[in-house]
Structure 1
Amino acid sequence: MDLTRRLTQQVILRLDALTDDLVDEILDENAGYVDAELVSLDELRRSCRDNIERVLQMLGDIVPAGVDPLDAAVVTGTRRAERRAPLEAVLRSFRIGGRVVWRSLAQVAKEDGTICWDDMVDVAAAVWTVVDEASSAVARAYRRTELRLRRLDEHRRLTMFTDLLRGRARDTAFAAEAAAELDLPPGGEYLVIVTDLAQDGGPGLATAEDLLAVNGVRSIWQPHARQTVGLVALATHDPDRLLDVLHAAIRDRVGVSPRAHGLGEVGTAHELAVLALRTLPAGDAAIARLDDRLPAALLVRSPDLADRLVDVVLGPLLRLPDGERQALLATLSAWLRTNRSPAAAAELLYCHRNTVINRMAKVESLLGRSLEDFESTLTVSYALKALDLPDGHGTRKPDPPYHPS
């Protein structure tokens, strides 16, 4: 009979004693491995017994039919990963186990008295080959479980982040849980930043988080609803400076919320950041702060009313032939931007002051209202702003800007 197999069959009868020896040596040499949070003493004893038994069965070629010889190793790797026990500590315990098995085989050989020690070289090689195979199975199971848990953690964090954006943090219990899970201050001030999600997964996502972290700013960035959303903890930081830092990382349209006071306001802040983003035309690499674009945001939020405003107020102008329509719209816009100054508007349009006066007279006639009246001027200004809203909000788009010769 093969020497390794003969010795193994005798050693396996001492399984309980070997288990005790292995547990004692792990406690002595790898004490940090045994912890109520990682591995209890009872669990350690069961695991040691199961793994020694399988190693001996593999050495003696006596693994029961239909049993995976590495099942104990896989279970150990999986459970230790689930408990977040360090892999190095797990593998160290397996090396100690190999030593205990080898010492027991050597002791049986010594007691036999007929075995040549030169023959034990092959036994030693067989022991460490099996121990290495079991250790590899432990490591594979550990890393596979670690990856699964990491994905679960990421999914949990993403779900929690999504719930923050949906306003769930108005529940103080959830806010506290989210703050702990995401490492965020529950009562601090935040900005919510929204940008378009690029084909490659999001512009400057990792860079933005890293840049802010270098500046001592905690932030979280996640894809959400075809956009990239950042939650930035302001603490004592100046929002203007942070946005300057971000602009270098996110070269695209960016919508920025007002300050959110605590996680409970993050849901509303997210809605407002999305609204700010929608005021920017596609391809316009600019930062839109909601508080700087409130009139446009009002119109974007009510696209049907914006359409109605354009039709009711500017309809007569929009129905003119292309050239005339463009000239009058350009003049009306320049006249409003220059605080109703014909001379200043003429300078913008590269035309004579009288041309502006004549065109404005025609505009007033077509619109049926005097633009010297504050209410009328305000209404027309909003109608022009609605006309200039980005595509996709239900409003009628103007032709290309008019450039008089």
Structure 2
Amino acid sequence: MSDDQYFRLSAEAVTPLRHALPAVAAQTVEAITQGVPAYAEAFSGTLGPRIEKAVQAALGTFLNLVSRPARAAQGSPLTPALEAAYALGRGEARNGRSLDALLAAYRLGARVAWRELAAISVRGGEDSVTIAHFAELVFAYIDELSAASVAGHADELATSGRARRRHLELLAQALLAGESEHLAIAAADRAEWAPPQTLTAVLVPEPAARAALELLDARTLQAAEGGPEETSVLLVPDAHGVSRAHLMRLLAGRGAVVGPSRPWLRVRESLARAVRTARFAPGDGAAAVDTEDHLVSLVLNADPQALADLREKALAPLAGERAPTAAKLAETLRGWLLHHGRRDEVAAALFVHPQTVRYRMTRVRELYGDRLRDPQWLLLLTVALA
């Protein structure tokens, strides 16, 4: 409702209302103090007189509206009141309060103010039609103030939310860049983020990142960069110990790769391991890939060229055999090492007859000779065939 749409009251009707404003404002504040617990402390403390003056000013603005000549000079008396209500809504958001208490205060304040102002109008001899219009205008005015506060609250949340999200992104980047403890703690303070004991890096395909975030600890950080392309990096707080199994269950079916838990300032180590694991164990999507299940492969793949040289040395005795035969002998030797020479277990693992294992191992012993009794060679073969 614009100020031009407000029903006009005569000067004679408004004058007694103006005289009563201080008393009406005091009664309104008292009613809000008693009826809205969230404001009881603020209204009854040192802010009480200031709030009372603000209520009186808002009621004065309303009386200016309803007594303003229809063709008054430009400049709406409603504008300052709406701006104040907007600022009030933003302030409530900055203080971490919802709008419930503020809107309740508006409603209660409107009822009390209307009751007192209407009583004055009745005593002044105003007719019922005028008083009915007056009631309509009071509540329309409060509705406009409420709407302005709602807008201010929403805008503040949007602004502060964007700012905090940016601070959280910068914190994640600082951690993954390995910034110093001093800088990381400063970034956490700016983001209003309480550091956990540990962080666990999780790689998730970008399409699944939002859904995964909704399932995880609210303190989970998301890094814009750091992982493979088309992958989001999530840093999950305190997912160590027994909590890790719960994390793995939450991430099942989302194509996630979960790094080890590390002290929060060392989370880049967790990410590095997750990235390395993702290269050779992408998973099937049904279960999250746990890097703890791939430690041997991680060690073996730490230096691919060294592993290739080691395998070449360890399998050199098989070099004279035909390729298919050499592959079968190497496979049997691997089973023999893993099952400590128990022929039946090797046969079961390879889906062959025990006699086949016996035949192949006879050939392997011919090729390797005493090296199969040398601990160093057994270690070399175990690593090469792992």
Q: TM range, normalised to the smaller chain?
A: 0.5 to 0.7
The aligned amino acid for 2:258 is G
Residues 151-190 of structure 1 mapped to structure 2, 5 A cutoff: 151-157=162-168, 159-160=170-171, 163-164=174-175, 166-168=177-179, 170-171=181-182, 174=185, 181-183=192-194, 188=197, 190=198
Give the structure 2 partner of residue 295 of structure 1: 296
Residues 3-402 of structure 1 mapped to structure 2, 5 A cutoff: 4-7=7-10, 11=14, 18=21, 20-21=22-23, 24-31=26-33, 32-33=38-39, 35=42, 40=47, 44=51, 47-48=54-55, 51-52=58-59, 54-56=61-63, 58-59=65-66, 60=68, 64-65=74-75, 69=79, 70-95=82-107, 96=109, 99-100=112-113, 103-104=116-117, 107=120, 110-111=123-124, 113=125, 115-157=126-168, 159-160=170-171, 163-164=174-175, 166-168=177-179, 170-171=181-182, 174=185, 181-183=192-194, 188=197, 190=198, 192=200, 194-197=202-205, 199-201=207-209, 205-207=213-215, 209=217, 220-224=219-223, 225=227, 226=231, 227-232=233-238, 239=241, 241-251=242-252, 254-257=257-260, 260=262, 263-272=264-273, 280-283=281-284, 285=287, 288=290, 290=292, 293-303=294-304, 305-306=306-307, 323-324=324-325, 326-339=327-340, 344-349=345-350, 350-351=352-353, 352-357=356-361, 360=364, 370-385=371-386
Q: What is the Cα deviation at residue 132 of structure 1?
A: 1.7
Measured at CA, do residues 230 and 353 of structure 1 come closer, stay the same or move farther in structure 2, by a change above 3 Å? same
Instruction: Give the SS at the match of 1:100.
Output: helix
Measured at CA, do residues 206 and 4 of structure 1 come closer, stay the same or move farther in structure 2, by a change above 3 Å? closer
Measured at CA, do residues 179 and 323 of structure 1 come closer, stay the same or move farther in structure 2, by a change above 3 Å? farther
Q: What is the Cα deviation at residue 125 of structure 1?
A: 1.4
> 2:268 and 2:60 mapped to 1: Cα distance?
56
Unmatched runs of 5 consecutive residues or more in structure 1:
210-218, 386-405
> 1:47 and 1:312 mapped to 2: Cα distance?
87
**For the Cα contact (< 8 Å) 2:220–2:237, is it kept in 1?**
yes
Q: Deviations over 1:64-83 (max 9, x none)?
A: 44887443332332233223
**For the Cα contact (< 8 Å) 1:335–1:342, is it kept in 2?**
yes
Q: What is the Cα deviation at residue 165 of structure 1?
A: 5.2
Across the two proteins, how many residue pairs are aligned to each other?
A: 358
> 2:75 and 2:209 mapped to 1: Cα distance?
50
Q: What is the Cα deviation at residue 28 of structure 1?
A: 1.9
Q: What is the Cα deviation at residue 124 of structure 1?
A: 1.6
Unmatched runs of 5 consecutive residues or more in structure 2:
none
Q: Deviations over 1:356-376 (max 9, x none)?
A: 2255369759xxx94544334
TM-score, L = length of structure 2: 0.67
Measured at CA, do residues 267 and 50 of structure 1 come closer, stay the same or move farther in structure 2, by a change above 3 Å? farther
Measured at CA, do residues 174 and 184 of structure 1 come closer, stay the same or move farther in structure 2, by a change above 3 Å? closer
> 2:135 and 2:379 mapped to 1: Cα distance?
93
> 2:192 and 2:151 mapped to 1: Cα distance?
28
Instruction: Give the SS at the match of 1:192.
Output: strand
The aligned amino acid for 1:146 is L
> 1:316 and 1:130 mapped to 2: Cα distance?
95
Q: Deviations over 1:320-364 (max 9, x none)?
A: 987456434423432332335666534533141343225536975
**For the Cα contact (< 8 Å) 1:346–1:356, is it kept in 2?**
no
**For the Cα contact (< 8 Å) 1:21–1:100, is it kept in 2?**
no
Instruction: Give the SS at the match of 1:200.
Output: helix
> 1:356 and 1:332 mapped to 2: Cα distance?
8
> 2:210 and 2:326 mapped to 1: Cα distance?
40
The aligned amino acid for 2:237 is L
Q: What is the Cα deviation at residue 128 of structure 1?
A: 1.4
Q: What is the Cα deviation at residue 137 of structure 1?
A: 2.8
Instruction: Give the SS at the match of 2:238.
Output: strand
Q: What is the Cα deviation at residue 265 of structure 1?
A: 4.5
**For the Cα contact (< 8 Å) 1:204–1:250, is it kept in 2?**
yes
> 2:329 and 2:210 mapped to 1: Cα distance?
41
Measured at CA, do residues 255 and 332 of structure 1 come closer, stay the same or move farther in structure 2, by a change above 3 Å? farther
> 2:308 and 2:24 mapped to 1: Cα distance?
79
**For the Cα contact (< 8 Å) 2:317–2:367, is it kept in 1?**
no
> 2:190 and 2:144 mapped to 1: Cα distance?
43
**For the Cα contact (< 8 Å) 1:11–1:105, is it kept in 2?**
no
**For the Cα contact (< 8 Å) 1:193–1:231, is it kept in 2?**
no
Measured at CA, do residues 42 and 151 of structure 1 come closer, stay the same or move farther in structure 2, by a change above 3 Å? farther
CA RMSD of aligned residues (A): 5.0
